[in-house]
Amino acid sequence: MKIAITSTQNIPESTFDLRFGRASYFCIYNTENNSVEFIDNENINANSGAGIKAAEKVIELGVSRVISGDFGPKAKDLLDKFKIQMVMLDDDSQTISSIIKQLNK
Amino acid sequence: MPRRRRLRKIVAPPGFKGYKPYGHRPNSKMVELLYEEYEAIKLADYDLLNQLEASKLMGISRATFARIYESARRKIAEALVETKEIKTVYGNAHMDENWYVCNQCHARFNLPDPTTASCCPMCKSDEINNIITND
Ligand SMILES: [Zn+2]
Closest residue by Cα to residue B106 from A102, A54, A31: A102
Kindly give the distance from the C-alpha atom of residue B107 to the centroid of ligand 1, in angstroms, as a whole number: 6
Read off the pLDDT of residues A5-31 as tens digits, 9 standing for 90 and up: 999 999 999 999 999 999 999 999 999
Which pLDDT band, with edges at 50, 70 and 90, does A70 fall under? confident
The residue range of the domain holding A34 is 2-103
Kindly give the distance from the C-alpha atom of residue B10 to the centroid of ligand 1, in angstroms, as a whole number: 17
In sequence order, which ranges of B12-50 are alpha helices (DSSP H)? 35-41
How many domains is chain A built from? Answer: 1
Mean pLDDT of B38-57: 90
Which pLDDT band, with edges at 50, 70 and 90, does A53 fall under? very high
The number of C-beta contacts closer than 8 angstroms across A and B is 34
Structural domains in chain B, CATH included, are 1-96 (1.10.10), 97-135 (no CATH)
The per-residue pLDDT for B35 is: 86
Read off the pLDDT of residues B85-94 as tens digits, 9 standing for 90 and up: 999 887 776 6
Q: Strand order of the sheet with strand A25-30?
A: A35-40, A25-30, A2-7, A65-68, A85-88, B108-110, B94-102, B128-133
In sequence order, which ranges of chain A are alpha helices (DSSP H)? 50-60, 73-81, 96-103
How close B82 gets to chain A, by Cα (Å)?
Answer: 38
The per-residue pLDDT for B3 is: 40
- Whether chain B has a CB inside 8 Å of the CB on A59: the answer is no
- pTM to 2 decimals? 0.69
Percent of chain B with pLDDT over 90: 39
Residue B1 in this model has a pLDDT that exceeds 50: no
Asked if residues B103 and B15 have their Cβ atoms less than 8 Å apart, the reply is: yes
Closest residue by Cα to residue A50 from A67, A72, A65, A28: A72
